[in-house]
Chains A and B, each alone.
Chain A
Amino acid sequence: GAVVSQHPSRVICKSGTSVKIECRSLDFQATTMFWYRQFPKQSLMLMATSNEGSKATYEQGVEKDKFLINHASLTLSTLTVTSAHPEDSSFYICSARDGQAASYGYTFGSGTRLTVV
């Protein structure tokens, strides 16, 4: 089945630094990838939709200058958390779908647990 590889799985960084998270579709091409954030005991919240070769679409309330998304190829999307602060500590997860068939569902990366100290 479709596999999405996400790295790193866990990162601890100092306040004010930037962190880059990568998601790769391993055996399929993903023209669109989705980035989510999940705080403890809450649901996944869609942050942005990443489109290959064009600008990402951000959800309301998500700062596009803080969460930089790059989708330069059909198999790689990156999310950079710039000038991270403790309140950015969260579980970040990407997803993509192989093919257009609605019944396929989306495949998720294994997530990145970010802790900003």
Chain B
Amino acid sequence: RKEVEQDPGPFNVPEGATVAFNCTYSNSASQSFFWYRQDCRKEPKLLMSVYSSGNEDGRFTAQLNRASQYISLLIRDSKLSDSATYLCVVDFYSGTYKYIFGTGTRLKVLA
């Protein structure tokens, strides 16, 4: 089983739609969780951290369920500029910190 798993997509949605991405992780000792966005042929950029209580940043909402080892990202009112690959990232400590990426979920928002 992969350490961090995501549905690769692609998700093709119309502008204005709400879309949700899911991610599961295998290491119960994982401590920190993030969603990154990666545009084609560019480096990943931090979208938001994910907290146990859930957190929201504008149109983006992230949730963490430690019991189920599950992370989600909800995007409301999708924009064309949201088209990218969304990477679930898990940071855990096992002697040293490691940052493990999910396979990424591709989103394409259609006009």
Residues 1 to 50 of chain B near chain A (Cβ within 8 Å): 31-32, 34, 36, 41-46, 49
Q: Is the interface of B mostly helix, strand, loop or mixed?
A: strand
User: Which one, B41, B49, B98, contacts A91 given CB within 8 A?
Assistant: B41
Report if B61 contacts A (CB, 8 A). no
Q: How many residues of A contact B (CB 8 A)?
A: 25
| A86 interfacial by beta-carbon distance below 8 Å | no
For the complex, count residues of B whose C-beta is within 8 A of A: 22
What is the predominant secondary structure among interface residues of chain A facing chain B? strand
Closest residue of chain B to A103 (Cβ to Cβ) is B49
Residue from A36, A102, A113 in contact with B91 in the complex, judged by beta carbons closer than 8 Å: A102
Residues of B within 8 A of A (CB): 31-32, 34, 36, 41-46, 49, 87, 91, 96-104
A interface residue numbers (CB < 8 A to B)? 32, 34, 36, 42-46, 49, 51, 57, 91, 93, 95, 97, 102-103, 105-111, 113
